[in-house]
């Protein structure tokens, strides 16, 4: 990962991983402190800043990812293109672009803000809680994907009908439908009526 001002404080000089900190926020999304990532997700959960990205191809199909089996939270489930947490002091837009490249090896050709959504989703499988103030982004992807196997198991581009079929038979992240529904107005504006979102 390239060292930037936002990531410099999250890597040590000897290459060992340090605790990842998240921004804690109030109900209006105003930063009120920080917490270590895992502790923020332990019940009952602490409200923190997050982001979700929805990228589409030129045919208006949504890029899904199946989370890698080695992830401590929601391993092996399907979810939106990319999601994560800004580092303290990092703009959500910058975090969304950074994380999309880290996970999928691609930079969006277009990325636009699509509002925010606040939710509380316990994950029964892991026992963790997603208590998030989530910044939404929609965009386009036109380059070949190069997923990081430690982050992403596999990917798929889907139409709305294909998503409905997959959602009925596969396991999706607890937050997926909440963030997709919140992003739909921006998705429809991006993809146009013919795409069916």
DSSP 2: -
Distances (CA, A) of 6 to 46, 56, 185: 22, 27, 31
Tokens (6 digits) for 65? 């990812």
Residue 132 annotated in active site: yes
Tokens (6 digits) for 185? 């107005």
> In a 10 Å sphere around its CB, with 0-12 CB exposed, 13-18 middle and 19+ buried, how is residue 158 labelled?
middle
* Candidates 23, 90, 130, 132; catalytic one: 132
31: how many CB neighbours lie within 10 A of its CB?
14
What is the C-alpha to C-alpha distance for residues 75 and 62, in angstroms, rounded to an integer? 20
Distances (CA, A) of 157 to 118, 135, 154: 26, 22, 11
> In a 10 Å sphere around its CB, with 0-12 CB exposed, 13-18 middle and 19+ buried, how is residue 157 labelled?
middle
* Candidates 23, 83, 130, 151; catalytic one: 83
Catalytic residues: 83, 132
């Amino acid at each position: 990962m390239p060292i930037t001002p936002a990531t410099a404080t999250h890597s040590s000089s000897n290459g060992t991983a340090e605790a990842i900190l998240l921004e804690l926020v109030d109900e209006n999304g105003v930063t009120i402190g920080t917490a270590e990532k895992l502790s923020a997700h332990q019940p009952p959960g602490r409200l923190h800043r997050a982001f979700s990205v929805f990228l589409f191809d030129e045919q208006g199909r949504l890029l899904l990812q199946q989370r890698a089996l080695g992830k401590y939270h929601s391993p092996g489930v399907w979810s939106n293109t990319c999601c994560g947490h800004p580092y303290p002091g990092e703009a959500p837009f910058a975090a969304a672009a950074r994380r999309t490249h880290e996970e999928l090896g691609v930079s969006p050709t277009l990325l636009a803000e699509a509002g925010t959504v606040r939710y509380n989703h316990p994950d029964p499988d892991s026992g963790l809680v997603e208590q998030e103030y989530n910044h939404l982004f929609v965009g386009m992807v036109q380059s070949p994907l190069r997923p990081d196997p430690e982050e992403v198991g596999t990917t798929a581009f889907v139409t709305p009908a294909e998503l409905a079929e997959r959602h009925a038979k596969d396991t999706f992240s607890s937050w997926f439908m909440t963030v997709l529904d919140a992003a739909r107005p921006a998705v429809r504006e991006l993809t146009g009526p013919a795409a069916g979102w």
